[in-house]
Amino acid sequence: MKEVQEEFLTLYESIHESFARFCHARAYGLMDPEDLISESVLRALESFDKLRNKEAFLSFMFSIAKNIVNSKHRRAKFKGNYNENYANTIPDEGIDAEARYDVVILYEALNKLPKQQKEALILFEISGFSINEVAEIQHSGVSAVKQRLKRGRENLAKQFKSDQLKQETIGTRSSILMSMFL
């Protein structure tokens, strides 16, 4: 059992930062991101022996987190508490109030996008994965991911009334969106 835990931790440590960014963006307004990270790690460890290909660990973790969020989202629809005031719960990590507010605005805008577009933007722009990695995580083709990124940016551009965001190249990270996280 100890060997399994050590192998799990070794694999997890290499993706922790990207996974945490993904969880913070996906959990916004629905649940505490640290709870999502913890619950995902726990579930992943419990079913780690079922993972046949260790190279698929990243997809394995993202799938677990997506399933947890989707489940919470379905439950929240019936409870009527999906629109909680989440802005005050974002941890102060040395960024000023204006930057924190920008992140809140971005997360609210992302929540208005279709799931596939939202996830593609979170994985590519916020978590820093390549388009090929996003395609692998989303179990889709590269062209589908590029289309999701393009449409997601267009939808965000409409929300932000920004022509500049619409015109950014798909193969590169958005300078506008990245400026919110630097």
* 8-12, 56-60, 169-173 — most confident range: 8-12
How many C-beta atoms lie closer than 10 Å to residue 81's C-beta? 10
What are 93-129's pLDDT values in tens digits?
A: 555 666 677 778 888 888 899 999 999 998 898 888 8
* End-to-end CA, the chain: 40
Structure tokens at 93: 């990590």
pLDDT band at 34 (very low <50, low <70, confident <90, very high): very high
Domains of the chain, start order: 1-84 (no CATH), 88-182 (1.10.10.10)
Query: What is the C-alpha to C-alpha distance for residues 30 and 82, in angstroms, rounded to an integer?
Result: 6
Q: Is the pLDDT of residue 157 over 70?
A: yes
Q: pLDDT averaged over the chain? A: 80
Specify whether the CB–CB gap between 119 and 26 falls below 8 A: yes
In which band, very low, low, confident or very high, does the pLDDT at 61 lie, cut at 50, 70 and 90? very high
pLDDT more than 90, % of the chain: 34
The pLDDT score that the predictor gives to residue 125 is 87
Confidence at residue 178, expressed as pLDDT on a 0 to 100 scale: 53
Query: Contact at 8 Å (CB) between 125 and 139?
Result: no
**Six-digit token string for 30:** 């629905």
